[in-house]
Amino acid sequence: METVFLHDLHIAPCKACYACQKKNSKGCSIDDAMQKIYPKLLAAEAWVIATPVYWFTMSAQTKIFMDRCFALPAYHPDPFREKRIAIAMTYGDADPLASGCVNAWRTFQDAYAYTESLLVGIVYGSATEAGQIRADEKAMEEAFLLGRQLVAE
């Protein structure tokens, strides 16, 4: 298991050049930290994507990461099919609807349905400070159960 912290990396936004989609493509044309992440994504049996909710959806770093995954098929045919994915989110409002958590969830749901990934589930809870979510017993129990479900065959 490996953890990648997107906010520590320089990942440029997709520039829609479609170099990754052309016949005989060598992959994404942008030479940045994603070049080291692509092989890790392909090798992993499962992904856990964790993001805070900022301004009614996932963080900018998470969205850039998702956009750049558009290039994954250049590195391996059908890279998403049956990839097991779990989502964890925190937000500042007590209400997942008012916070925008539901918008982020829908984006994950739509994207990974389109790629034929296995979106195992989501866990979310309200927290405004780093580490604060650990005090939410319900969210922690749900995270534990989601982790179990993620690795179940």
Query: What's 108's domain CATH number?
Result: 3.40.50.360
Residue 139 φ then ψ, to 5°: -65, -40
What's the pTM value of the predicted model, to 2 decimals? Answer: 0.91
Identify which of 110, 42, 34 has the alpha carbon closest to the alpha carbon of residue 80: 42
Helix axis angle for 60-68 and 34-43, nearest 10°, is 70
141 in a structural domain: yes
Q: Can you tell me which residue has the tokens 């690795």?
A: 151
2 in a structural domain: no
The residue range of the domain holding 119 is 14-151
The Cα–Cα gap between 2 and 90 comes to: 21
In tens digits, what is the pLDDT along the chain, a chain of 153 residues?
A: 899 999 999 999 999 999 999 999 999 999 999 999 999 999 999 999 999 999 999 999 999 999 999 999 999 999 998 899 999 999 988 787 888 889 999 999 999 999 999 999 999 999 988 889 999 999 999 999 999 999 986
1 in a structural domain: no
State both tokens at 85.
């994915």
Residue 47 in contact with residue 60, Cβ under 8 Å? Answer: no
4 in a structural domain: no
117 in a structural domain: yes
66 in a structural domain: yes
**Tally of domains in the chain:** 1
Please enumerate in sequence order all residues whose Cβ is within 8 A of that of 140, keeping only pairs 6 or more positions apart, or say none. 133, 134
8 in a structural domain: no
The count of other CB atoms within 10 Å of the CB of residue 57 is 20
